[in-house]
Amino acid sequence: MAPLSPLQARPSSDKDLARVESALRAAAVTGDDFLTEVTSHLIPAGGKRLRPAFVIASALALDPGGAAPDAVTDDMICGGVAVELVHLGSLYHDDVMDDAETRRGIEAVNHRWGNLKAILAGDFLLAKASELAASLGTEVAALLAATIGRLCEGQVRELQLIYDLTRTEDQYLLAIGGKTAELYATSCRIGGLVAGADGETLDRLNSFGLAYGMAFQIVDDVLDFVASDEELGKPSGNDLREGVYTLPVIRMLADGQSAHDGLGGLLGEPLDDDRRDRARAIVVDGPEIASSVTTAQHYVTQALDALAPFDATPGMVGLRAAASNLLSALPPEAAGAAAAGATGAV
């Protein structure tokens, strides 16, 4: 099950996202037909469009009439497209670094056209995002520029520890905070800025988005172990293959049981399919999947606490529901194991 959209309290949410989709396609058009083909490649493949939805829901968070069909303004759509372009540009660059073959169930840009063209197309998407942000004012432009910088910092922190068996939880959390959570926080803050929210509201929306993003990435990392290739839209277990050791692996390596389980002997270098599958099975059979889900739930609680003072407007109801239902993206056995009392650091 996909994460719940924060627009679920709006009867016209399908029309809202159709506006985002139309504007997103328009934003990917360039003066060169070939570059347009490359920059637009992933858009028809879909995607949850969660980040634009968070922009819109946050912009409507203090609006009691936020369910009205005309409540969503062009500026809200523009802000949503800007953050989605940043996300898409980062995917292009990620796939180059991962030497990915597929993304969202289709051929990855780098695999089809080569790394150089994928990098340049990703750069164009980031530049276009900055252009759209500038149209919304200097504060939004500065915020998005700083966020792109933090995304790069988070990715570098991860790359520095590829195949590193000594990667710590603190290092992991710092990396996902930069490469994932910051963009969710920025999405929520841009929504508040577009709506003219006050400073306290902006800070609470930012805190909500940051905590939601932390939970989202932990859930995504758990799914890399417990979901199928078809469910993920990319090969499962790919983090293990690429030497990106996420929270379940970090905990298993740190608890001293890895030598007995054989995990440590498998990791530390690139894996073929057989070794990847063996390592994945060891992690899935251990308690670290459940303890990681418990940590994700901790961040969900933080996210909901950030929104506690606000009235139940349609936008706010949607934000709360998106966080409350985030763990439903996991298979029942993974979420159920955590609910049954798995322990672990948070």
Share of the chain above pLDDT 70, in %: 93
- Render pLDDT for 278-300 as a digit per residue (tens, 0 to 9): 999 999 999 999 999 999 999 99
CB 8 within 8 A of CB 66: no
User: Which pLDDT belongs to residue 340?
Assistant: 55
pLDDT > 50? residue 342: no
Chain centroid to CA 267:
26
Please tell me whether residue 55 adopts helix, strand or coil conformation: helix
pLDDT > 50? residue 344: no
DSSP state string for 219-284: HHHHHHHHS-HHHHTS-TTHHHHHT---HHHHHHHHTT-HHHHTHHHH-SS---HHHHHHHHHHHH
What band does 329 get if pLDDT is binned at 50, 70 and 90?
confident
CB 94 within 8 A of CB 233: no
User: Which pLDDT belongs to residue 346?
Assistant: 47
The torsion angles phi and psi of 70, rounded to 5 degrees, stand at: -95, 15
Alpha-carbon torsion angle 269, 275, 281, 284, nearest 10: 20
CA distance to 217, 279, 323, per residue, from 326 (Å): 11, 26, 5
User: Which pLDDT belongs to residue 331?
Assistant: 82
Nearest to 229 by CA among 294, 177, 280: 280
Nearest to 50 by CA among 192, 184, 167: 184
User: Which pLDDT belongs to residue 116?
Assistant: 95
| Rg of the chain, C-alpha, whole Å | 20
Query: 281: Cβ–Cβ under 8 A, 6 or more apart, which residues?
Result: none
User: Which pLDDT belongs to residue 233?
Assistant: 63
CA distance to 174, 193, 264, 287, 303, per residue, from 323 (Å): 21, 21, 34, 24, 7
Q: What share of the chain is helix, strand, coil (3-state, %, to 5)?
A: 70, 0, 30
User: Which pLDDT belongs to residue 97?
Assistant: 86
Q: Where are the domains of the chain?
A: 16-339
Q: How far apart are CA 231 and CA 222, in angstroms?
A: 13
- Render pLDDT for 72-131 as a digit per residue (tens, 0 to 9): 999 999 999 999 999 999 999 988 887 788 888 788 999 999 999 999 999 999 999 999
Q: Of the CATH numbers 2.70.70.10, 1.10.600.10, 3.40.50.150, 3.40.1390.10, which one belongs to the domain with range 16-339?
A: 1.10.600.10
User: Which pLDDT belongs to residue 345?
Assistant: 44
